[in-house]
Amino acid sequence: MQKEQQELANLIKGKKVAFIGAGVSHKTLIREFVELGAHVTLCDQKKSVEDFGDYAATIKELGIDLSLGENYLDGFKGQDIIMRTPGFVGYFEKPLQDAMAAGTMVTSEVELFFQFCPCEIVAVTGSDGKTTTTTLISKFYEAAGRRVHLGGNIGAALLPMLPEVSPDDVAVVELSSFQLISMHQSPNIAVVTNVTPNHLDHHKDMQEYIDAKRNILLYQKQPCRAVLGYENEISRSMQKDCKGKQVWFTRLHETDNGAFLREDGMLCMAENGVVTPFLAQKDVKLRGLHNIENLLAAAAAVWGEVPVEAIQLVGSSFTGVEHRIEPVRVLDGVTYYNDSIGTSPTRTIAGLRSFDQKVILIAGGYDKHIPYEPLAPEITAHVKNLVLMGATGPRIEKAVREDPNFHEAELPIQHADNMQHAVELARACAKPGDIIILSPASASFDLYPNFEVRGREFKSIVNALK
């Protein structure tokens, strides 16, 4: 057992540990913690052990205590450690705060990985662009021959990988606000893509959301690097929180320190005013100017860590991540795109701006209580037919109709009962040469467990069309 794994074992052995929920990562960790000698209690809103389905047998096998039902948080009492999950967002609410006041350690899978990881950690947060930027960074390192451990809000749970991690490896981690809100460790290299209103159905207010994102920077130790988006006012303001080297990425400005898009279409990196062009925009396979920003952010993060040839190779060949302006098929001259990652207005705006023609847009879903007024002028400018569904459908329609450039004759609006109906309505108004894109500007939780399931259903429906 390597040193870091032994330190984790010493922390866990003989301790009373409560896990909030039995998601995929917690199921793996619960077994590991029991094997390390922890006394585990599982706190979950389910009402009986049978409600866990196939996992019920494991609960009985491992001798896990249960705290279930309406008062499941009572299981926090008397615990040494509470393992929170990103799905449980009440970090500042009374049950967890009372537990911490009583001396209980509140942590998470990602936090423990940061605490015991022996290798360099690169982490990315932001409202938009996290997954693409994180994926690009991981591919840059892989192209340079480094062994990469990809996880956090993307990929697999990282803590179970700890025995396999060596000091020469690199961990590339995507972090959401829910993961960051309780973190007291920061990565060696931190990237903040942008910060715009999001998840306000769960965060107390916008300031709490911003403060959570800021945690990615606050605990950095020298030597470290912070990469901030210059165009976004909130990420730009985080410069004051940086502890070490800070660089920008920007598509609209030139900078003396950071990655930028030059007027001649070259992606460049500047170090103390010395500019190195490294890739032509015309050679980038990713669609959309927002993806140029993601590529700039990723390049700024790894500059000097990998050969420039690795950045050029990946930058000129990487075509994107599933559910992000993903081409599905061409049928009857109409091209269908899956942009189910469009869970907020800013994501959908970026998707709409990726096309040089007006599109047929399918939008709407779960309501995160974020404003749709900024989306409305983008819809009137870039959409020829609008198909709405879900709880936010009426809110999006109201915002669009109140936009001064809206004309009903130029932008018909229809409402669908479900995804199948939405695709049928969109197809019915499409002509050869048109583009139909699912980019909901909303979360998926009204009808789907996550945006991936939503996107795959859209693709399945589109691929079944005759």
Structural domain ending residue among the three candidates 290, 315, 340: 315
The encoded tokens of residue 209 equal 């959301």
Q: What is the DSSP letter of 366?
A: B
On whether both 99 and 195 belong to a single domain, the answer is: no
Mean pLDDT confidence for 25-30: 90
**Judgement on whether residues 344 and 432 belong to the same structural domain of the protein:** yes
Asked if residue 155 and residue 128 are part of one domain, the reply reads: yes
Q: Does the model's pTM come out above 0.75? A: yes
User: For residues 223 and 120, what is the distance between their CA atoms, to the nearest angstrom?
Assistant: 11
Please say whether the beta carbons of 68 and 46 come within 8 A.
Answer: yes
Q: What is the pLDDT of residue 451?
A: 95
126 in a known ligand binding site: yes
pLDDT digits (tens, 9 = 90+) for 285-333: 999 999 999 999 999 999 999 999 999 999 999 999 889 999 999 999 9
pLDDT over threshold 70, residue 200: no
Q: Mean pLDDT, to the nearest integer, of 251-267?
A: 98
Contact status, residue 228 vs residue 328, Cβ threshold 8 Å: no
pLDDT band for position 4 (50/70/90)?
confident
Is residue 261 domain-resident?
Answer: yes
CATH number for position 414: 3.90.190.20
Q: Do the annotations mark residue 129 as ligand-binding?
A: yes
Q: Is 335 annotated as a binding residue?
A: no
CB 173 within 8 A of CB 187: yes
| pLDDT above 70 as % of the chain | 98
CA dist 243 and 291 (Å) reads 28
Phi/psi for 459 (5° steps) reads -65, -40
Q: What is the pLDDT of residue 90?
A: 74
Q: How many domains does the chain have?
A: 3
Contact 111, 181 (CB under 8 A): no
Is 85 annotated in some ligand binding site? no
The domain of 28 spans 14-103
Mean pLDDT of the chain: 94
Question: If pLDDT is split at 50, 70 and 90, which confidence band does 199 have?
Answer: low
367 labelled as ligand-binding? no
Instruction: Supply 119's token pair.
Output: 């290798």
SS3 state of residue 310: helix
383-397 residue pLDDT tens: 999 999 999 999 999
Span 121-180, pLDDT tens digits: 999 999 999 999 999 999 999 999 999 999 998 878 899 999 999 999 999 999 999 899
The CA distance from 426 to 414, in Å, is: 9
Tell me which of 250, 284, 315 is where a domain ends.
315
| pLDDT greater than 70 at residue 1 | no
Preceding omega of 223 cis (within 30 degrees of 0): yes
Residues 256 and 403 reside in one and the same domain: no
Is 127 annotated to bind a ligand? Reply is: yes
**Same domain (yes/no): 330, 282:** no
343 annotated as belonging to a binding site for a ligand: no
pLDDT per residue as tens digits for the range 155-165: 788 999 999 99
Of all residues in the chain, what percent carry a pLDDT higher than 90? 88
